[in-house]
């Protein structure tokens, strides 16, 4: 059977092969046609598969970050918007206080960051009845806008055809009289809005941080709200009770991986670092060197080096490094004891206004300990609004009365606040200790305290010489108050304790770079005159390094003159070896050092300028020298500027007014730059 089958199969295959050969032309064509028709029929009768619908990803941006403040105000029934230009948080704090005030006048306000909104909508504010725009604008550096107000400033400058008629506005400016361009940003916004047709409903307020900024604000605010009432025909509700902005939620059962532990922005950003690094995403830079600079004395001047290898961070000589410090753990523990709370409870403070862009006062969820350590300022004297809000929690009527008095604008109240809080340097812990009847809920205190801000330091290195390292020069702040307490500067004491290795781990510093206008001349052949006593020498260490590097590259470099000052040659002549080596190599063509206390009569940098006045004038007037001042704004910078006025008068044959104008022109041309602080 098997064999038969095999034979039959072979025979059949042979016949088929012969027939196939015969059919190979016409029939093959017909066969292909039939197969094609069958396939076409099958495909045309098959139900078409639906094309998958790719939905747009639901990004949270439109809902959480609306760029239209007009639509947001309409949606939430707000008629007052308070924009803030803030670098250190004070202007933002004032803006929040003003927006809360509105409720006491049957109005609704919102604080707003101009960086987050389309400021071109200002003209549309007339669509909202009884609308008002308030601007709390701080001035930063040499008359500059704050980082978050830069785009708004540019918009104001670029839009000459903008019609803001019908826009009601007022401005409160925050500045410091020790600076050359006092309140420049606030003054500009006030003037520019008027030029564009807006209606100023109350006078520009000027706050001076060199005096009493809080008092300036309160005095302005006390007169501002009656003017608003008169303008819009409304009356105060007479309700002076506390207005809470956030509500407390305690988390009893939460995944600790979802709890913030000190991150500024993204959760776990300190564990998984991703560039680019900025104020919302700082880089954790390892500390590679932390050494004391001074040889003696009771102060501690220090030099730190931060490693930025692999971070893609770039900087230039003259830039600032911003660091995010933490509060002293001992101070935090004492605060917890005074408040009688478990600091390790996990909490969230949620905004009662669900439409607000600011959902929490600081990253949440977190613990009270983290909030008081990383996020809140517990060392500065509390502002009057904090005292006013906390007064209700004092069981002693006398304490209540005094706290409310200090928050008032009465002369007696202002004097009490000045003496009891400011002059005595009482922080919130000292207030609680000296008012035993005051027992506020910790969540309300956390709502009221301002955010702990980054601290800025002039970089003491050049990226040409140290591309992977940023150097900091600082003096540790520590003093005894009138109440006998020892107050310590938050950032400098924190930096002092940043050992290179701590229990086997590398110490790190959260940091980012803030660009500066404090720049060496574009032409290396231009001479430079640098004046920087004390830690004001920091940026000049970078300048000297860079000028030395340029010389090594074979570039022609102009004269490099330094005026440095300290107390005693044998105690705090910091960077002595580096400076003398630079002079020896010819990088520093002139090194002038004033030791203020090594002789009977004090000698400062401005005195040394005058002993070199003829040469200084030649460099400035004939050789296009650039002048740089770094250090104390209150006294040194003014005295140094006066010395330059005197030199211009004597050798330029100018009157005092002409000499003043001459130096101002140098400033305008970028040839007289200041990096000063008060």
Binding-site residues from annotation: 86-91, 138-141, 174-183, 209, 299, 455-458, 473-475, 479, 489-492, 535, 596-597, 602-606, 639, 677
Helix orientation angle between 613-621 and 636-652, rounded to the nearest 10 degrees:
80
The bridge status of strand 168-175 relative to strand 132-140 is parallel
Active site residue 566: no
Per the annotation, where are the binding residues for FAD?
455-458, 473-475, 479, 489-492, 677
Separation of alpha carbons 107 and 225, rounded Å: 11
Residue 111, classified by CB atoms within 10 Å of its CB into exposed (0-12), middle (13-18) or buried (19+), is: buried
Which residue in the list 458, 462, 516, 673 is annotated as catalytic? Answer: 458
Per the annotation, where are the binding residues for FMN?
86-91, 138-141, 174-183, 209
Residue 583, classified by CB atoms within 10 Å of its CB into exposed (0-12), middle (13-18) or buried (19+), is: middle
Torsion 416-422-424-425 (CA) sign? positive
Active site residue 630: yes
User: H/E element holding 351?
Assistant: strand 346-351
Which residue in the list 307, 443, 632, 675 is annotated as catalytic? Answer: 675
DSSP E strands, 432-553: 455-458, 469-475, 478-480, 486-488, 501-502, 505-506, 508-514, 528-531
Which residue in the list 136, 364, 446, 630 is annotated as catalytic? Answer: 630
Active site residue 208: no
Active site residue 622: no
Separation of alpha carbons 114 and 151, rounded Å: 8
DSSP 607-667: HHHHHTHHHHHHHHHTT--EEEEEEETTTHHHHHHHHHHHHHHHHHT--HHHHHHHHHHHH
Residue 551, classified by CB atoms within 10 Å of its CB into exposed (0-12), middle (13-18) or buried (19+), is: middle
Per the annotation, where are the binding residues for NADP(+)?
299, 535, 596-597, 602-606, 639
3-class DSSP string for 242-289: CCCCEEEEEECCCCHHHCCCCCCCCCCCCCCCCCCCECCECEEEEEEE
List residues with catalytic annotation. 458, 630, 675, 677
């Amino acid at each position: 059977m098997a064999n038969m089958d095999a034979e039959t199969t072979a025979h059949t295959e042979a016949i088929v092969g012969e027939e196939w050969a015969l059919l190979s032309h016409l029939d093959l064509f017909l066969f292909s046609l039939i197969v094609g028709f069958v396939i076409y029929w099958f495909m045309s009768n098959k139900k078409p598969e639906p094309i998958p619908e790719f939905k747009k990803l639901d990004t949270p941006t439109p809902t959480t970050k609306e760029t239209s403040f007009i639509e947001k105000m309409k949606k939430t029934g707000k008629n007052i918007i308070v924009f803030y230009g803030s670098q250190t948080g004070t202007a933002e704090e004032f803006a929040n206080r003003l927006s809360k005030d509105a409720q006491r006048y049957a109005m609704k306000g919102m604080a707003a960051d101009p960086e987050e909104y389309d400021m071109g909508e200002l003209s549309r504010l007339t669509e909202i009845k009884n609308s008002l725009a308030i601007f709390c604008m701080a001035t930063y550096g040499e008359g500059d806008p704050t980082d978050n107000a830069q785009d708004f400033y540019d918009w104001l400058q670029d839009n000459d055809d903008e019609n803001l008629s019908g826009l009601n506005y007022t401005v409160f400016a925050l500045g410091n009289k020790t600076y050359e361009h006092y309140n420049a940003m606030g003054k500009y916004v006030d003037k520019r809005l008027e030029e564009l047709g807006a209606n100023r409903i109350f006078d520009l307020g000027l706050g001076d941080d060199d005096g009493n900024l809080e008092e300036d604000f309160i005095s302005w605010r006390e007169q501002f709200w009656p003017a608003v009432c008169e303008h819009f025909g409304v009356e105060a509700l007479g309700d002076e009770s506390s207005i809470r902005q956030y509500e407390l939620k305690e988390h009893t059962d939460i995944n600790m991986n979802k709890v913030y532990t000190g991150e500024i922005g993204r959760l776990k950003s300190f564990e998984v670092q991703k560039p680019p690094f900025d104020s919302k995403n700082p880089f954790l830079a390892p500390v590679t060197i932390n050494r004391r600079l001074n040889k003696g004395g009771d102060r501690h001047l220090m030099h730190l080096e931060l490693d930025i290898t692999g971070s893609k961070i770039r900087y230039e000589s003259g830039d600032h490094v911003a660091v995010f410090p933490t509060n002293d753990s001992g101070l935090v523990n004492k605060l917890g004891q005074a408040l009688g709370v478990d600091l390790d409870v996990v909490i969230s403070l949620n905004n009662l206004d669900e439409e607000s862009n600011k959902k929490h006062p600081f990253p949440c969820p977190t613990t009270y300990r983290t909030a008081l350590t990383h996020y809140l300022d517990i060392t500065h004297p509390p502002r009057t609004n904090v005292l006013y809000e906390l007064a209700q929690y004092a069981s002693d009527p006398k304490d209540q009365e005094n706290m409310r008095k200090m928050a008032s604008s009465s002369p007696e109240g202002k004097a009490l606040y000045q003496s009891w809080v400011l002059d005595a340097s009482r922080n919130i812990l000292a207030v609680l200790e000296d008012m035993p009847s005051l027992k506020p809920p910790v969540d309300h205190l956390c709502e009221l305290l301002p955010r702990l801000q980054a601290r800025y330091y002039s970089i003491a290195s050049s990226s040409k010489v140290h591309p992977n390292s940023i150097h900091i020069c600082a003096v540790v702040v520590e003093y005894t108050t009138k109440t006998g307490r020892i107050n310590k500067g938050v950032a400098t004491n924190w930096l002092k304790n940043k050992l290179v290795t701590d229990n086997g781990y590398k110490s790190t510093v959260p940091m980012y770079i803030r660009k500066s206008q404090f720049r060496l001349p574009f032409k290396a052949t231009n001479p430079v005159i640098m004046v920087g006593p004390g830690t004001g020498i920091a940026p000049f260490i970078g300048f000297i390094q860079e000028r030395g590097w340029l010389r090594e590259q074979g570039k022609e470099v102009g004269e490099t003159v330094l005026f440095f000052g300290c107390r005693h040659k044998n105690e705090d002549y910091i960077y002595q070896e580096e400076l003398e080596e630079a002079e020896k190599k010819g990088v520093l063509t002139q090194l002038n050092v004033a030791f203020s206390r090594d002789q009977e009569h004090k000698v400062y940098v401005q005195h040394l300028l005058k002993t070199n006045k003829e040469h200084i004038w030649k460099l400035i007037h004939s050789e296009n020298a650039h002048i740089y001042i770094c250090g104390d704004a209150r006294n040194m910078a003014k005295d140094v500027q006066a010395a330059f006025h005197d030199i211009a008068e004597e050798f330029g044959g100018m009157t005092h007014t002409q000499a003043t104008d001459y130096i101002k022109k140098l400033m305008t041309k970028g040839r007289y730059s200041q990096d000063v602080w008060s």
